[in-house]
Amino acid sequence: MKKLLGVTLGIMTALGGFVDLGQIVFTTQAGALFGYKLLWTIVLGTVGIILYMEMCGRVAVVAGEPVFAVVRRRLGNRLGLATLVASNLLNLITCAAEIGGVAIILHLLTGWPERAVLIGSGVAISAIIYLSKFQWIERSFGLSGLLMIVFGVAAVVLHPDWREVLSGLNPIAEMSGKKQVLLYAYFAVGIFSAMLMEYEVHFYSSGAIEEEWKPKDLGENFMVAALGSILGSFLTIALMVLGALLFLPHQIFPALLSTSIMAGAFPFAGKALTVAMFGALACIGGAAVETALSGAYNICQFYNLGWGKNHRAKDVPVFSVGWLGMLALALVIAVTGVRPLTLVNISIIFGMVVMPLTYYPILRTAAARNVMGKHVNGRIVTFLGVVFLTLITAAAVAAIPLMILTHGGQP
């Protein structure tokens, strides 16, 4: 039972990263524009995040070093500090977007004023983090996020042509013009980036230490990373299928979160819409929690300060002020009225730019025998790590130019 509940760390991490506000809308939009042609990016991103999430967990368990302790040691103080600042700015922007997404869903469910619901969402998330131990946070958000399975059921019930779906595993697709090529590339980079968002590995490696995993738990580490990520990828594929089936034939571009959520309930009655909303609420709320805690984890790990959600707040003051400050600043940004989807698009693309500086130190450490001993990377894992780091770097170089040229993915 303990191992079964341990999987909730992977589920929460994956659902909070794979099926957050940006991914729900971004992937549905990709399906609405290109059908199943970008399916390969989901598969590629899934393999990449399993690979690096497992490495992060293994390094955390064997070396006792979560991500930003590794970043400081491998990149040095200057470049490490720049990475810390950039990563936490992205955490802040993403957290603001996710709080905005939570508020949108609560507004749809209750009809209460948007501003009041927005402030209430920030306060509620703060209370949940303050009052709950780490294990209860991961289990409550991880298990309630499973309500998102309604999107998978909806995709199957609509009877897509599975042969056509599988054709999306081929990355070479015919495009009708330069604008379509640029849009295709933008969404490919965006989906790949969203699957590998840094806060996923920040949260996961810290969670491995919060859970007090030992080297004997490394099998569980792989199982948790793989099962959570595969579940998240299946739900992401379902979102793309729904976008292709419901919006592409009618040339509808789903620019709103509510439109994407409605797709999950389309084949069913109104109660399914409520289930879809609660599932999305859990995933988006989980992402808000992950980004707030990740910001605090990063600061404390970089400066070697005490941290941990299972400690009393007064025993880890910087950590406590860190996550609370992240939420407070994120709420201030959200209250200004900036659209959550604008924020999340920025975080996805700029996250791609910072990504190599997060994943390179992890790969170096996991491949270092003097640090990892018998738990060092095998040759195949190191080779795959280098391949994915090369892809991440190439995508990082292309990300901002593509965002500018496509006006943020507008068709």
Express each pLDDT in 31-50 by its tens digit: 999 999 999 999 999 999 99
Do residues 367 and 379 make contact, with C-beta atoms less than 8 angstroms apart? no
409: helix, strand or coil? coil
The pair of three-digit structure tokens given for residue 125, joined into one six-digit string: 């998330």
From 209, 204, 261, select the one nearest 227 (Cα to Cα): 204
Which pLDDT belongs to residue 393?
97
- Show the low-confidence residues of the chain (pLDDT under 50): 1-2, 4-5
Residue 328 domain-assigned?
Answer: no
The pair of three-digit structure tokens given for residue 280, joined into one six-digit string: 């999305």
How many domains is the chain partitioned into structurally? 1
Residue 187 domain-assigned?
Answer: yes
Which pLDDT belongs to residue 19?
77
Residue 129 domain-assigned?
Answer: no
Distance from C-alpha of 277 to C-alpha of 173, rounded to nearest angstrom = 34
Question: What's the pTM?
Answer: 0.94
Residue 263 domain-assigned?
Answer: yes
- Compute CA distances 315 → 46, 188, 309, 311, 321, whole Å: 37, 44, 10, 6, 11
Helix ranges restricted to H, 196-315 = 198-210, 218-242, 257-265, 270-302
Which pLDDT belongs to residue 1?
46
Which pLDDT belongs to residue 32?
98
Residue 98 domain-assigned?
Answer: no
Residue 119 domain-assigned?
Answer: no
Range of the domain at 63: 2-93+146-271+340-405
Residue 18 domain-assigned?
Answer: yes
Which pLDDT belongs to residue 18?
62
